[in-house]
């Protein structure tokens, strides 16, 4: 097993992250557009709208997770949404995703957050198994969404 190192991503990581983010978007049926992916990440990171954690394996950026800040009025506390997590195909099953989940938890705890949430599709069995194994709780909360952009999904 190779050592995975996790760090908060910065401008020097944008090119590698853009390729991974583009592949992540492709997984969800979006057309490839690396410049768009790069611009999205650059803007979110530059203006502090997200925190991106990059995973390195054998000296190469092999995965990432992107966290967005939220707040809980009921808990009067900050929370984080783990919105994106992706590992390059060649780096899968080598501990990268678990290392990213653990790093996200450590980051949120250090930030004083009350919790982290994420969602995935019910048919994403590998991800759901990973989340449960990492100590995340699956619940039956009913989520509703309203699409404002006219797109399906």
Count other C-beta atoms under 10 Å from residue 64's C-beta. Answer: 25
Per-residue pLDDT at 137: 84
The percent of residues in the chain predicted with pLDDT above 70, rounded, is 91
Beta strands in 33-142 (DSSP E): 51-57, 60-72, 77-87, 116-117
CA distance linking residue 147 with residue 153, whole number of Å: 8
Q: Which two tokens stand for residue 82?
A: 């783990």
Residues (pLDDT < 70) of the chain are 1-2, 141-147, 149-153
For residue range 44-75, what is the model confidence (pLDDT) as tens digits?
A: 999 999 999 999 998 899 999 999 999 989 98
pLDDT recorded at residue 29: 92
Q: What are phi and psi of 140, to 5 degrees?
A: -105, 20
What is 4-133's CATH number?
3.40.630.30
Q: What is the dihedral of CA 46, 47, 51, 55, to 10 degrees?
A: -10
pLDDT attached to residue 150 = 64
pLDDT of residue 109: 92
């Amino acid at each position: 097993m190779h050592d995975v190192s996790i760090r908060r991503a910065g401008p020097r990581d944008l090119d590698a992250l853009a390729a991974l983010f583009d592949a992540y978007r492709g997984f969800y049926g979006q057309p490839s557009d690396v410049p768009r992916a790069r611009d999205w990440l650059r803007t979110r990171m530059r203006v502090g709208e997200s925190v991106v954690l990059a995973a390195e394996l054998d000296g190469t950026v092999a995965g990432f997770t992107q966290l967005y800040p939220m707040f809980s009025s009921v808990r009067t506390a900050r929370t984080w949404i783990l919105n994106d997590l992706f590992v390059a195909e060649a780096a899968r099953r080598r501990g990268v995703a678990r290392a990213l989940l653990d790093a996200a938890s450590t980051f949120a705890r250090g930030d004083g957050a009350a919790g982290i949430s994420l969602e995935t599709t019910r048919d994403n069995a590998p991800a759901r198994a990973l989340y449960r194994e990492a100590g995340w709780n699956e619940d039956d909360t009913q989520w509703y969404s309203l699409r404002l952009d006219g797109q399906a999904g």
